[in-house]
A and B are shown apart, each in its own frame.
Chain A
Amino acid sequence: MTLSVFLFFAFAAVAVLGALLLIVAREPIHSALSLILVMISLAVLYLLLGAEFIAAVQIIVYAGAIMVLFVFVIMLLNAGEEERTDWSKLAKYAGVPLGLILVLALAYWMARSTIAGSAGAAAPASAAVSTRELSEQLFRTYLLPFEATSILILIAILGALVLAKREE
């Protein structure tokens, strides 16, 4: 087993574990921390695929900015432990079987797909994209969608501001 395959499985396991902890944890801060763990392991997976820039941005934006805000808000509101209710009937009888079917279907399609044989090990070198190439794609070829997205985000921020400041 080469190092990159080993790292892939290690961090994939950490990502799944973090995602599980995120749901299971009762303390909101613990959930937030688990989510940060997921973000970081995803960044490492990007790194293994040779996408350095995406990995760094993943950490800067998600782990470094968005999750800091989450933690900040949780701390500010001093949110207590979450309360558990009994499962709803729908979740029990429809959710569990459907979830299982989804997992099986995903596993089936992944096993059948052509990249399965080379997963993890062979991907890097060829897929490596430099920051320059990426930015050229982003700011030349896909400039309009990029700008549209940023305006969309700006509108969302303004909307949040208006909603939060609404007078009684």
Chain B
Amino acid sequence: MDFIARHPVLVVSLVKIAVLMFVVMTALAYLSWFERKVIAHMQSRWGPYYVGAHGLLQPLADGIKFLFKEDVIPPASDRLVYVLAPFLALSLALTTLALIPFGPATISIFGQPTQLVVANLDISLLFLFAITSMGVYGVALAGWSSNSKYPLLGSLRSSAQMISYEVSLTLSVVGVLLLAGTLNFNEIIQGQRGYYWHSLPRWNVVPQIVGFLCYFTAAIAETNRVPFDLPEAETELVAGFHTEYSSFKFAMFFMAEYANMITVSCLATILFLGGWLSPFPDRWTLLQYLPAAALMGLGAYLGYDTAVHMRGIARMQLAVVTALALGLGLFCLQSAVMAVIQGPFWFLLKVGLLLFFYVWTRATLPRFRYDQLMSFGWKLLLPVSLVNLLVTSLLILLLGKRG
């Protein structure tokens, strides 16, 4: 206790990091379940089904499988860099999440009032770009150190792709910065409070719709996802940059990719979709029961599912999930919790929708050819985001006000 009293900020930060890591690690695991399930249903399949009710224990089974597989290090590889690359990829991907504000509410940990963000910097956005700009090393070094043809080709592609699309990504965000006049995430979100014509939320996505589309396209390319997943195009390059990786090192690349997806969606939410702001006016006070109601509704549906469709051990497993959902719903009804949960609820809802969109594109779109990818990035996306920037600055200059 003495240590806590003497270093309150350090201890509180550590607690927040621990909680965030736990939540994010679970989210990463279940994002893979979510992706497989959604794509399966879009393609009229069942997806993961056998491990746990609705395949809910599949992530756990995958994790155990990765842990116990043989960890092969190719003899001709550059050992140091080969081992370093997955750590680099995952740690950089997770570091960015420290900057994401999940809600406005001030909570107190060990009597220290603190916000729902690990690090509230003046230059959150720049710092986030600083870290994501390093993300390319994980992929590039993995391919190079494997000392093998296909991984090298994969990482060459990915370096070129990530450099190209990073330019459009950064430029598409500058319009929002001009509107907000700050680099701090909380201030950017606060600037989006209010309504256009009393009904449309004053989110940056309205004036910056072009910027938003450019941002999201570039973001999909930055995270090496379909339709821009050339670095790991399995039909051409076996598995791209992580061909030689096995066991937990492969899992780390996998987790890094999902963590990057989450970061990019969080950033889109903060910059364009009003972050943790609710789309509805504050005077609709009944809406504060929405998180609890949503959880209870989910619990009720799961309870029905448990009773009607499940048999044997799956029924017990789903009963536990039902109890969890109902319990969380009841927990959210407490007034102290209800105040804190509002911001995170809307934030996570928006992020969840964007992640669904990510998965949706993967189920829908075919892969670009390499030259198409490059000409799309440099000849369409970059000019469009530049013009967007120019028009935005011009309008701000002419109208003489922000927004």
Contacts and interface: CB of A to CB of B under 8 A. Distances in A.
A65 B123 contact: no
Nearest to A57: B126
The interface residues of chain A, by DSSP majority, are classed as helix
Nearest to A36: B137
A151 interface: no
A51 B126 CA distance: 13
A29 B78 contact: yes
B140 A71 contact: yes
A52 B133 contact: no
Given A59-B134, A64-B130, A76-B156, A131 B183 contact: yes
Interface residues of A, number: 25
Interface in B74-92: 78, 80-81
A56 B127 contact: yes
B126 A68 contact: no
The interface residues of chain B, by DSSP majority, are classed as: helix
Given A29-B81, A53-B126, A56-B126, A71 B156 contact: no
A125 interface: no
A53 B122 CA distance: 9
B50 interface: no
B188 to A, nearest CB: 14
Contact of B122 (A57, A72, A75, A130): A130
B137 A72 contact: no
A136 interface: no
Interface in B147-178: 152, 155-156, 159-160, 162-163, 166
B293 to A, nearest CB: 42
Interface in B94-135: 121-123, 126-127, 129-131, 133-134
A104 B41 CA distance: 71
A45 interface: no
Contacts, number: 79
A52 B130 CA distance: 11
A63 interface: yes
Interface string A49-78: 000110111011001110011011001101
B42 to A, nearest CB: 35
A78 B136 CA distance: 18
Nearest to A71: B140
B123 A71 contact: no
Interface of A: 27, 29-30, 33, 36, 43, 52-53, 55-57, 59-60, 63-65, 68-69, 71-72, 75-76, 78, 130-131
19 contacts: A29-B78, A29-B141, A30-B80, A52-B123, A53-B126, A56-B129, A59-B130, A59-B134, A63-B134, A64-B129, A64-B133, A64-B134, A68-B136, A68-B140, A72-B156, A75-B143, A75-B155, A78-B152, A131-B122
Interface of B: 78, 80-81, 121-123, 126-127, 129-131, 133-134, 136-137, 140-141, 143-145, 152, 155-156, 159-160, 162-163, 166, 183
